[in-house]
Amino acid sequence: MKKLITNSLLLFLLIFCFSCTETQSHKTIKLAHGLDVSHSVHKAMMKMGENLEKISGGKMKVKIYPNQQLGSERECLELLQIGSLDMTKVSVGTMENFAPKMKVLGLPFLFRNKQHSFDVLDGPIGKGLLDEGEKYWLKGLCYYDAGSRSFYTKERPVNSPEDLKGLKIRVMESATAMNMVRNLGGSPTPISWGELYTALQQGVVDGAENNPPSFYLSRHYEVCKFYSLDEHTVLPDVLVVGTHFWDSLTEQEQKWLQEAADQSVPYQRELWDASEKEALEAVKKEGVEIIYPDKDPFAEEVQGIYDEYKNQPEMYELIQEIKKTK
User: Alpha-carbon distance 238 to 221, whole Å?
Assistant: 26
CATH 3.40.190.170, the chain: domain bounds: 23-145+235-277, 149-234+278-324
DSSP string, 221-232: GGT--EEEEEEE
Q: How far is the first Cα of the chain from the last one, in angstroms, to the nearest whole number?
A: 68
Residue 30 and residue 63 in contact, taking contact as beta carbons nearer than 8 Å: yes
For the entire predicted model, the pTM comes to: 0.85
User: Alpha-carbon distance 93 to 237, whole Å?
Assistant: 9
Q: Write the CATH number of the domain with boundaries 23-145+235-277.
A: 3.40.190.170
Q: What is the mean pLDDT of each run of 10 residues along the chain (326 residues)?
A: 44 46 72 93 97 98 96 95 97 91 94 95 96 95 97 97 97 92 96 94 97 94 98 96 97 98 97 96 98 97 93 94 93
Q: Which CATH architecture has domain 149-234+278-324?
A: 3-Layer(aba) Sandwich (3.40)
Distances (CA, A) of 202 to 23, 32, 154, 207, 255: 47, 28, 11, 11, 48
Q: What share of the chain is helix, strand, coil (3-state, %, to 5)?
A: 50, 20, 30
User: Alpha-carbon distance 278 to 229, whole Å?
Assistant: 15
pLDDT score of 17: 53
H-type helices in the chain, by residue range?
Answer: 2-17, 40-55, 73-81, 92-95, 114-122, 124-130, 175-183, 196-201, 212-217, 243-248, 251-285, 296-301, 303-308, 313-324
pLDDT score of 194: 87
